[in-house]
Chain A
Amino acid sequence: MSDADKILVRLRVNGEAREAPAEPRTLLVEFLRDQLNLTGTHIGCDTTYCGACTVLLNGRTVKSCTLFAPMADGGEITTVEGLATNGKLHPVQQAFAECHGLQCGYCTPGLLMSTLHLLTKIPNPTEKQIRKAIAGNTCRCTGYQNVFKSIRAAAAEMEKR
Chain B
Amino acid sequence: MYAHPFTYHRAASLEEASKLLQQLGEEARLIAGGQSLIPLMKMRMARPSALIDMNFISGLNGIARHGGELRFGALARHADIEHSDVVKAMPILHDCAAGIADVQVRNQGTIGGSLAEADPSGDWGAVLLTQETAVRCFGPNGERTVPLEEFITDAYTTVLAHDELVREVIVKIPPKQSGGACVAFKRSAPVYATVSAAVQVTLDGEDTCQSARIVLGCVGLTALRVKEAEAEIQGKKIGSKSIDAAAEAARASAEPPGDMRGSTDYKRALIAALVKRALGIAVRRARGEQVEAGHEYVGR
User: Using a CB–CB distance below 8 Å, which chain A residues touch chain B?
Assistant: 1, 5, 7, 23-25, 46-51, 54, 60-63, 66-68, 70-71, 114, 117, 131-133, 135-138, 144
Contact = CB atoms under 8 A, between A and B. Distances in A.
Q: Please name the 6 residue pairs, one residue from A and one from B, whose CB atoms are nearest each other, closest first.
A: A136-B102, A135-B189, A24-B8, A60-B107, A25-B3, A63-B104
A95 B210 CA distance: 55
Given A66-B38, A114-B103, A135-B190, A71 B299 contact: no
B283 to A, nearest CB: 25
Nearest to A133: B103
Q: Which of A25, A47, A117, A137 counts the most B-chain CB atoms under 10 A from its CB?
A: A25
B6 interface: yes
Contacts of B191: 49
A66 B7 CA distance: 17
Interface string B1-19: 1111111101000000000
B119 to A, nearest CB: 13
Interface in B243-300: 297, 299-300
Contacts of A136: 101-105, 189-190
Contacts of B88: none
10 contacts: A5-B7, A24-B6, A25-B5, A61-B103, A62-B104, A62-B108, A66-B34, A66-B105, A114-B104, A135-B102
B144 interface: no
Interface of B: 1-8, 10, 31, 34-35, 38-39, 41-42, 51, 53, 55, 79, 101-105, 107-108, 188-191, 297, 299-300
Contacts of B101: 48, 136
Q: Which of A60, A66, A133 counts the most B-chain CB atoms under 10 A from its CB?
A: A66
A50 B8 CA distance: 27
Contacts of A62: 104, 107-108
B39 to A, nearest CB: 5
B102 A66 contact: no
B34 A71 contact: yes
Contacts of B1: 46-47
A51 B7 contact: no
A7 to B, nearest CB: 6
Contacts of B8: 7, 24, 68, 70
B287 to A, nearest CB: 25
A5 B191 CA distance: 35
A25 B31 contact: no
Contacts of B53: 70-71
A24 B5 CA distance: 8
B299 A135 contact: yes
B105 A48 contact: yes
A25 B35 CA distance: 15
Given A131-B299, A135-B102, A47 B42 contact: yes
Given A24-B7, A48-B190, A62-B104, 11 more contacts: A46-B42, A47-B1, A47-B39, A47-B42, A51-B190, A60-B107, A66-B39, A68-B3, A132-B103, A136-B104, A136-B105
A110 to B, nearest CB: 9
B65 to A, nearest CB: 24
Contacts of B108: 60, 62-63, 66-67
A64 B49 CA distance: 22
Q: Which of B7, B8, B105, B189 counts the most A-chain CB atoms under 10 A from its CB?
A: B8
Nearest to A46: B1
